[in-house]
Amino acid sequence: MILHYRAAFQWQSHAVLGRHLTVYRRNWHTAALPPLLEPVILLLAFGVGLGGFIPEFAWRGQPVSYLAYLAPGMLAYTAFMTAFFQALFAAYIRMHYQKTWEGQLITQVRLEHVVWGEMLWAATLGTTYALIVTLVLAGFSLSGWLDLHWFSALLVLPLLFLAALAFATLGLLFTAIVPSIDHMNIPFFLVIMPLGFASSTYFPMEGDSLWAAVWLTLNPLHHLAEGIRHLMLVGEMNYHLAAAFGLFLLMILILAPVDELLLRRRVLGEG
């Protein structure tokens, strides 16, 4: 059965989203620690610490500090990993162990609403975490550690939301097909780690060979990281942002109905 995209705008999906927000708000003091501390630690450890050993670092032929190179990549990586993890592990636990989904499906909420509620929640959390990283970057900039247009990151928040939504569809795909929680290492190491690291987030990648060029062209995270980097370091929009937008939209259009189809089979035994 084809997922009705309109379910994304129906009240039931927003009720599911509201449920996740309520739970998160209750635990905000512990839940907010990772997005706040992780970028600080990474910026200090890799940007300042490791970056200190890389005095001559160039991006597109221009000399930049490794810290400045790393910062935009972290922003893209945060939206990606947060949404993916939420749609994979957290959604799986709610579906399989906590039986939260079944508790929702005996009401006026239908499966397409549960799926969209999970995706919207993962996207909301991914964007929120990216916003927190932006605030950390602002702190580093204002204290003179970093020289970048940190406020321009605010302009790409809608794109980061779309990115997180797309990566949530990827996470839910694995939620629908992994036999058990023990098998989640497989998508993580075979799909997510390569997608996440070979993407110009933590180090520059060049499309020297045909394979590398194809990989970088198709990897939406590469376009997102490079697009945000261009915006924050140069202060200009470039084609990477448009490419990222297109690829994320494509992911959502293709994967969202597939997710629903597979989850319908898994949860309801139908299809």
Partner 1 sequence: MLPDSLIASDEPVLQATGLVKQFAGRRVVDEVGLRCQAGQVLGLLGANGAGKTTTLRMCYGFLQPDAGTIRIAGIDRRIDPEAAARRVGVCTQDDTFDADFTVRDNLLQMSRYYRPRPAEIKARIAALLERFGLDRYAHAKPDTLSGGYRRRLMIARALIHEPQLLFLDEPTTGLDPQARLEVWELIDALRRDGLGIVLTTHYMDEAERLSDELLVLREGRVVASGQSRAVLGDLVGEHMLVLDAHDPAAPAVRAWVRQAGLPEPARVLSDLHIALDGPGLAQFSSQFGDLRFEVRPPTLDDLFLKLAEKS
Q: Contact positions toward partner 1, by CB under 8 A?
A: 11-12, 15, 18-19, 22-23, 98-100, 102-110, 268-270
CB contact set of 224 (below 8 Å; sequence gap of 6+): 76, 79, 80, 159, 160, 163, 240, 241, 244, 248
Minimum CB distance to partner 1, residue 15 (Å): 5
Minimum CB distance to partner 1, residue 89 (Å): 15
Minimum CB distance to partner 1, residue 105 (Å): 6
Q: Which string of DSSP letters, residue by residue, matches 155-181?
A: GGHHHHHHHHHHHHHHHHHHHHH-SSG
Task: For 247, list phi and psi in degrees, rounded to 5.
Answer: -65, -40
Minimum CB distance to partner 1, residue 121 (Å): 13
Count of C-beta atoms within a 10 Å radius of residue 77: 23
Minimum CB distance to partner 1, residue 103 (Å): 4
98 or 217: CB nearest partner 1 = 98
Q: How far is CA 137 from CA 29, 43, 67, 200, 222, in A?
A: 21, 9, 10, 18, 20
19 or 266: CB nearest partner 1 = 19
118 or 226: CB nearest partner 1 = 118
21 or 157: CB nearest partner 1 = 21
Contact call for residues 2 and 257 (beta carbons, < 8 A): yes
107 or 185: CB nearest partner 1 = 107
Contact call for residues 195 and 217 (beta carbons, < 8 A): no
**Backbone torsion region of residue 147, taken as left when φ is above 0, otherwise alpha when ψ lies between -120 and 50, otherwise beta:** beta
230 or 264: CB nearest partner 1 = 264
Minimum CB distance to partner 1, residue 177 (Å): 18
Side-chain half-sphere CA neighbours of 75 within 13 A: 34
